[in-house]
């Protein structure tokens, strides 16, 4: 079964734009779970324009599904993650001022940096996933430094899907088998939506989890949150 983790950053962005607690991020998280989501994801950035670091313990204490925190592992981020102890931490190589994630880790060139961080997180019973491109050497690198999972950066897949689905999925599909052989769990995220999700799932039976926020929240504006989550779950069935 492929689990759906709903990324709530866009909900937090709307909340922060008015300086209030509306929409209530925790209530939205609870509603997502009630509507069938199997996980909640947030990505607190240094400027806290989306999720705030103060949101993390509240979400962890109250969410009943898997809680996943994404982010670049600077000291502030790591201290927060180690304090909260989510079920999963997805490390992304984002610069502080980056608008959105747009590439994966260089698990070879940055192996020493990542290895120590991964060890510390795992010593605190936190599953570690690395945001990564569909490159066999980088996936081997992720396994060699102790990652539990990889999360495919699916931006290129989503972009090319509208032109040629089979070509769009080719590199991910080829390297997915390698990842599985290396003992890595397999996640995916970025620009996934109701048009391209089912094909991804059908082509990658090994897929453990997808993390979806932007498209899901945009769809919910028109379709309603409960209906939207059910539609996404149907794509993964």
What is the three-state SS of 195-218?
CCHHHHHHHCCCCCEEEECHHHHH
Which runs of E-coded beta strand occur in the chain?
3-7, 39-42, 66-71, 88-91, 127-132, 149-153, 185-189, 209-212
The tokens describing 31, both together, are 């509603």
At 43, is the secondary structure helix, strand, or coil? coil
The tokens describing 52, both together, are 């705030």
Q: Is residue 214 annotated as part of the catalytic site, yes or no?
A: no
Which runs of E-coded beta strand occur in 49-176?
66-71, 88-91, 127-132, 149-153
> Under 8 Å CB-to-CB from 134, ≥6 apart: which residues?
152, 153, 156, 171, 172, 174, 175
CA separation for the pair 108, 233 (Å, rounded):
35
Q: Which of 33, 50, 70, 151 is catalytic?
A: 70
Q: Which contiguous run of DSSP H or E holds residue 234?
A: helix 225-236
Read off the DSSP letter of residue 97: T
Q: Which of 33, 151, 190, 209 is catalytic?
A: 190
CA separation for the pair 14, 225 (Å, rounded):
15
Q: Which of 33, 43, 151, 209 is catalytic?
A: 43
Read off the DSSP letter of residue 131: E
Residues noted as catalytic:
43, 70, 190
């Amino acid at each position: 079964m492929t689990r759906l983790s709903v990324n709530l950053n866009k909900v937090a962005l709307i909340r922060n734009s008015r300086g209030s607690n509306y929409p209530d991020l925790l209530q939205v998280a609870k509603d997502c779970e009630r509507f069938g989501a199997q996980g909640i994801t947030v990505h607190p950035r240094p400027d806290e324009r989306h999720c705030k670091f103060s949101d993390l313990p509240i979400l962890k204490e109250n969410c009943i599904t898997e809680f996943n925190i994404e982010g670049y592992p600077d000291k502030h981020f790591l201290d927060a993650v180690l304090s909260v102890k989510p079920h999963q931490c997805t490390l992304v190589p984002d610069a502080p001022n980056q608008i959105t994630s747009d590439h994966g880790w260089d698990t070879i060139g940055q192996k020493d940096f990542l290895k120590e961080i991964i060890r510390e997180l795992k010593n605190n019973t936190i599953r570690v996933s690395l945001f990564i491109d569909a490159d066999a050497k980088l996936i081997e690198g992720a396994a060699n430094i102790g990652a539990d999972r990889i999360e495919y950066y699916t931006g290129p897949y989503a972009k090319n899907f509208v032109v040629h689905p089979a070509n769009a999925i080719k590199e991910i599909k080829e390297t997915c088998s390698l990842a599985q052989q290396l003992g890595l769990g397999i996640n995916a995220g970025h620009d996934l939506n109701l048009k391209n999700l089912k094909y991804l799932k059908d082509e990658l039976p090994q897929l453990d989890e997808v993390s979806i926020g932007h498209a899901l929240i945009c769809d919910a504006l028109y379709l309603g949150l409960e209906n939207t989550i059910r539609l996404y779950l149907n794509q993964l069935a």
